[in-house]
Amino acid sequence: MGTLTWTEEDEDGVEHQRAIPHKWEICHSCAGDGTIPDRAISPTGDGSWTGSEFAEACHEDEDFRDHYFGGMYDVACPDCSGSGKTKAIDWTALEQRDPALAKRYEDHLKDEACFEAECAAERRMGA
pTM of the predicted model, to two decimals? 0.63
Q: What is the tens place of the pLDDT at every residue in 76-109?
A: 999 999 999 999 999 999 999 999 999 999 999 9
Q: Can you give the three-state secondary structure of the chain, one letter per residue?
A: CEEEEEEEECCCCCEEEEEEEEEEEECCCCCCCCEEECHHHCCCCCCCCCHHHHHHHHHHCCCHHHHHHHCCCEEECCCCCCCCEEEEECHHHHHHHCHHHHHHHHHHHHHHHHHHHHHHHHHHCCC
Q: For a pLDDT cut of 90, what percent of the chain falls above it?
A: 67
